[in-house]
A and B are shown apart, each in its own frame.
Chain A
Amino acid sequence: MGGLFFVAAVTSLVISAAILWSLFSNGWEFLTEVNWGHVFGSDSWSPRFDEFSIATLLVGSLIVTGIAMLVATPLGLGAAIYLSEYARPGVRTVLKPILEVLAGIPSVVLGVFALIWIAPEVVGRLFGEEHGRGGTMMAAGIGVGILTIPLIASVSEDAMRAVPSSLRQASAGLGARPISTTLRVVLPAAISGVVAAFILATSRALGETMVVFIAGGAADQAQYTNNPLDGSLTMTAAMASLAVGTDQVRGASLAVPSLFFVGIVLFAFTFGLNLIADRFVRRVRQAY
């Protein structure tokens, strides 16, 4: 029996190996044949012009992820604190599902939502109607943010609930009000969990595809821009566009290999973030 289960467990290793192999065996062509001047020199991502400005995509991803975190961190953390420190059990069982349902919303749905509602109703109202007529990095960023709220909330809530109630009692026993207990005892004790939540969410936002693809305001090709109210491509959106436009093109230009090249870059980033987050999460586990 054990042997069987062991095999099952090992498949996860096989998968990781397969991922790396897929990325590099296909990305290799790009890495070897591309004119690197067009990767670092250029200021536009347009694979069909052999313009592979990775900077454009990185900045795009940076902006979208940044906006997402600005939206998700306060909301997610606030919700987590309320649920773990303030909500009475009854209230909790009513409110928690909100986050869980939100967590269940597929990203395509949020993409469409970002395009047909967030863009006009939120971005349009906040930054001027002309910015709300179509997809922008702002609209996409907000969409991605909404997508990551539940992640931040659940991970940091777990961390705060892991703080032994004896500490809360000690604080209350000294005449501390809930706010002091929360800010001076619980949060500091749970800090690594909260950080982990933040990092995990960042990595999730970085890897989120559909929202940006649908509501990011660009497809297939983008000029370098650092204005959140422009449309542009993130790494993921660029991959999706390449796939839609080219999923059946076999190796004519460097377009398809570039798909895997971006894949490598994206994988590297998220992998790094996940590793760091994992450190923090485990610190929480060891703490008590």
Chain B
Amino acid sequence: MAFSTIGSSGEAAIHGSVADALRGRRRSDTRGWAFEIGLLASLLICLLILGALILTVVTDGMPVYSDRGWEFLDGGLSSIADRAGISQGIVGSFWIAVCVVVVAIPIGVGSAIYLEEYAPRTKLTSFIELNIRNLAGVPSVVYGLLGLAIFVNTFHGFSGADGIERSTLAAAGVTLAVLVLPIVIITTAEAIRAVPQALREGAYGVGATRWEVIRSQVLPYAAPGIFTGSLLSIARAIGEAAPLIVIGAVTGFFSAGEGLNAQNVTDPSHLSERFVALPSIVTTWAKQPDEEFKVSNAAATIIAMLVFVLLINSIAIVLRNRFEKKRSS
């Protein structure tokens, strides 16, 4: 090494040797440079794909809106391409989201609280946790089979109906709620795990009971995380098609009240009727031979769906980033 002899040699000499030693090979590190470029590239490719996707959908779908605008959203299904609208799909998706909020989120948050705050470290507990992680990985189409066998065939779609009328919106909604339940549980559990132990100890230290600690410290602190997780799961549910198909979304014409007025959309009687939802409409139309359905209408429906889904997602993402920053500082 260059410096073994430093003690003896003169300062000036050293200065020189050190100077050019340190000047180093900064510019010669091509490997590292290429590596970094490659990595960045893979990210940019993802960006590209996203761009292509959105561009395709918009170029194919936008004409429908520029031609028909509100009419397309407000109109009902039709076998005439330039009459067809998606109001029934919006109604369906709306109620599916409601089911998620009403069924999945309370149960999910509840289980997460139990697992993080109450559960003793027993075999049962770790089994439940393993079980939840596995449920999160079960293919959505399998959940469809669950819905078909249990909610449709066994519970008659919660509507007491018979025959094909058992394939109700309620059955679909509950199925999707079940499908996103593991997601709610996992995200909530993470949010709760992120609550500093110091906060809990502080509260316990002045003699709070477990529930008081959860209510006054844990939940408030974890709220943003829980909220984010819930939003993401709603978005997921709105986008899922496979289970709907398996349960038996209507493929042809379907009348569900008329129009996109608040009164019709929020009419809970839809729950006990057969259904379509935005994703199932996309599927049916994408499989039509008629280009107007297959491309234009399908793309237009996708735009409507993406607006919902991406809106919800980005709210969630922004929220989370905002709080991550707050917390880290």
Contact = CB atoms under 8 A, between A and B. Distances in A.
- Among B45, B134, B314, B321, residue most surrounded by chain A Cβ atoms (within 10 Å): B134
Chain A interface size range:
35 or more
A31 B110 CA distance: 39
Interface of B: 29, 31-32, 35-36, 38-43, 45-47, 49-50, 52-53, 56-57, 60, 106-111, 113-115, 117-119, 128, 130-135, 137-146, 148-150, 164, 167, 178, 181-182, 185, 210-211, 214, 232, 235, 238-242, 245-248, 251, 279, 282-283, 286-287, 294-295, 298-299, 302, 305-306, 309-310, 313-314, 317, 321
Nearest to A219: B287
Contacts of B131: 12-13, 16
B50 A12 contact: no
A74 interface: yes
B309 A104 contact: yes
B138 to A, nearest CB: 6
Contacts of A101: 50, 310, 313-314, 317
Interface in A213-269: 213-214, 219, 236, 239-240, 243-244, 247-248, 259-260, 263, 266-267
Contact of B29 (A76, A149, A177, A244): A177
B107 A113 contact: no
A247 B167 contact: yes
Contacts of B113: 5, 8
A161 B33 CA distance: 22
Contacts of B279: 106, 108, 210
A146 B109 CA distance: 31
A113 B53 contact: yes
A208 B144 CA distance: 13
22 contacts: A11-B107, A15-B146, A15-B178, A19-B143, A75-B46, A99-B46, A100-B313, A102-B49, A108-B239, A109-B305, A111-B286, A204-B137, A207-B142, A210-B242, A213-B283, A247-B245, A248-B164, A248-B167, A259-B145, A263-B141, A270-B138, A275-B134
A9 interface: yes
B142 A74 contact: no
B138 A271 contact: yes
Contacts of A78: 38-39, 41-43
B114 A6 contact: yes
B33 to A, nearest CB: 9
A191 B137 CA distance: 21
Nearest to B282: A108
Nearest to A214: B286
Contacts of A108: 239, 241, 279, 282-283, 286, 302, 305
A95 interface: yes
B145 A9 contact: no
B46 A102 contact: yes
Interface in A149-198: 149, 177-179, 182
Interface of A is mostly: helix
A70 interface: no
Nearest to A100: B317
A35 interface: no
A23 B279 CA distance: 24
B177 to A, nearest CB: 10
Nearest to A248: B164
Interface of A: 1-2, 4-13, 15-16, 18-19, 21-23, 25-26, 74-79, 81-83, 86, 93, 95, 97-102, 104-113, 115-117, 121, 146, 149, 177-179, 182, 200, 203-204, 206-210, 213-214, 219, 236, 239-240, 243-244, 247-248, 259-260, 263, 266-267, 270-271, 273-275, 277-278
B42 A75 contact: yes
Contacts of B36: 82, 86, 178-179
Given A15-B135, A19-B146, A210 B39 contact: no
Contact of B114 (A9, A15, A99, A203): A9
A93 B232 CA distance: 18
Contact of A5 (B32, B57, B114, B305): B114
A112 B284 CA distance: 11
Nearest to A122: B52
Contacts of B178: 15
A107 B241 contact: yes
A231 to B, nearest CB: 14
Given A12-B185, A22-B148, A271-B137, 10 more contacts: A8-B106, A82-B43, A83-B43, A104-B309, A107-B241, A108-B241, A115-B286, A213-B283, A239-B246, A247-B167
A279 to B, nearest CB: 10
Leading 10 A-B pairs by shortest Cβ distance: A207-B139, A106-B239, A78-B42, A8-B110, A22-B149, A5-B114, A82-B39, A104-B313, A274-B137, A9-B111
A260 B46 contact: no
Contacts of B41: 78
A82 B309 contact: no
B287 A208 contact: no
Contacts of B119: 6, 9
Contacts of B164: 248
B246 A240 contact: yes
A105 B302 CA distance: 10
A274 B132 CA distance: 11
